[in-house]
Homo-oligomer: A and B are copies of this chain.
Amino acid sequence: MRLIHTITELRRALAGAGAAFVPTMGNLHAGHLALVEQAGRAGRPVVVSIFVNPLQFGPGEDFERYPRTLEADCALLEPLGVDYVFAPAVDELYPQPQRFRVEPPLADELCGAHRPGHFAGVCTVVLKLFNIVQPHVAVFGKKDYQQLYLIRAMVREFNLPIAILAGETVRAADGLALSSRNGYLTPEERAEAPRLYRTLLTLRERLAAGARDLATLEAEAAAALTAHGWQVDYVSVRSQATLLAPKPNERALVVLAAARLGATRLIDNVEVELSEPGL
């Protein structure tokens, strides 16, 4: 496994080999490692990038305190047969201020509504990394569902010759989706945190049982969280195909939520396939 810090060196090392690529912000956990293993099954050189991208953090967000743990990350990646870890400095990706941006859709939906500019920053850095790595395939986790949706749409609409694979969310034994931000939680918050996933499961069960009034289901789920000290950004049932409100007869849905426990913002989601009748 080679640790590479510059674009020039990475391009020279890859020499046009279409890699399997996993972009990350580091501070790796079992969720990332599952994505890396999935990339490994593509039978191509595996590239993992580790880059805390300032462009996707808003003012007052956690860019400064986001954990940087490069040495530990490399120790986790080495046994997985990763070929290249690409860990550029901020100046390497942004030698001058980044003036060109990707302007993605759904900027006012879900997390977009609560994190202005976040997805423009994500899509911009992912496009840059795609152009640097020129991978054949790239893997993104379902945990960041709106991100995965947008990357897939960007690849399609910008005609990037890259296959996007989705990795299932990895969870702790109590159901909490693994996330680097879980490390911010106090022990009390950590004990409370699994309620987010349980609340989504409850909503899914009610849909499975035939409930179809989405606004009420969403409001009840948000109230259940608020009652336990959460500050809820949203709980929302959306179409998997559009991430907008589902149309009548749409049956492939996803329930998404974002809520804060103290200073920590957590997100999660569960997919739902409605049986008859649809909405």
Contacts and interface: CB of A to CB of B under 8 A. Distances in A.
Contact of A99 (B99, B153, B159): B153
B103 A102 contact: yes
Contacts of A161: 11, 131, 134
Number of copies: 2
A101 B103 contact: yes
Interface in A69-120: 93, 96, 98-105, 120
A154 B103 contact: no
A3 B100 CA distance: 33
A7 B159 contact: yes
Given A100-B153, A154-B100, A159 B128 contact: yes
A132 interface: yes
Contacts of A127: 158
A102 B98 CA distance: 13
Interface string A203-241: 000000000000000000000000000000000000000
Contact of A103 (B100, B105, B157, B158): B100
A160 interface: yes
A128 B11 CA distance: 22
Interface of A: 7, 11, 93, 96, 98-105, 120, 123, 127-128, 131-132, 134, 153-154, 157-161
